[in-house]
Amino acid sequence: MVALPLLDIVLASRDADRSARVANQMARSALAELDEIENLDDGLAPDDASEFDRQTAYVLRGMYERWAQDAELLLERIGRVEQQAGPVPGAEALRRVYGRTRARLSVSLDDMEQGLRDAVEGRTVPIEEVRRELRVRVQQTGAESIPANRTVAGRGNT
């Protein structure tokens, strides 16, 4: 996000309404940028789901990493704007996709490739077994012991 210095200038002006407007525009821009990266990811996915294109995955991962670094810097600034002006529209959506992107990046390319190999070779756990195991855990320890994380859907190459 090359426009971060612009937000810094607006923040220095102490005009809370203007800061909130610019922060909202930048949040929307960051969301659109991530959407474009995800569209590329989907479009570059191999036709055969059992193939892993490490070179493409590597480049796309770099795009996600750069986006996440920039989004983190933007979110820091948005936090300062929110202290002055209150909630910034679009900030919660940006926080949500930032977290989802960081979660995606926590899985290494090697782990992705191994998971794909495991799936192709049939080394998977049926969803019914996962559900059954979760039910047993809930009965044994109570629902509060299971974290309420959102599901992270995988994309084409990452």
**Is residue 144 scored above 80 in pLDDT?**
no
CB under 8 Å to 49, separation ≥6 — which residues? none
Decide: 157 and 44 in contact? Cβ < 8 Å. yes
**Is residue 143 scored above 70 in pLDDT?**
no
93: alpha, beta or left? (left if phi > 0; alpha if psi -120 to 50) = alpha
What is the per-residue pLDDT across 112-130, written as a single tens digit (0 to 9) for each?
888 888 888 888 888 888 8
**Is residue 102 scored above 70 in pLDDT?**
yes
Decide: 61 and 109 in contact? Cβ < 8 Å. yes
Mean pLDDT of 107-112: 91
Q: What is the pTM of this model?
A: 0.76
Which two three-digit tokens encode residue 35?
């959407």
| pLDDT reported for residue 152 | 37
What is the per-residue pLDDT across 26-43, written as a single tens digit (0 to 9) for each?
999 999 999 999 999 999
**Is residue 141 scored above 90 in pLDDT?**
no
Whole-number Cα distances in Å, 132 to 37, 96, 119, 150:
36, 29, 20, 19
DSSP the chain: -TTHHHHHHHHHTT-HHHHHHHHHHHHHHHHHHHHHHHHHHHHHS-SSTT---HHHHHHHHHHHHHHHHHHHHHHHHHHHHHHHH-PPTTHHHHHHHHHHHHHHHTS-HHHHHHHHHHHHTT----HHHHHHHHHHHHHHH-GGGS--PPP----S--
What is the per-residue pLDDT across 42-96, written as a single tens digit (0 to 9) for each?
999 888 877 888 999 999 999 999 999 999 999 999 999 999 899 999 999 999 9
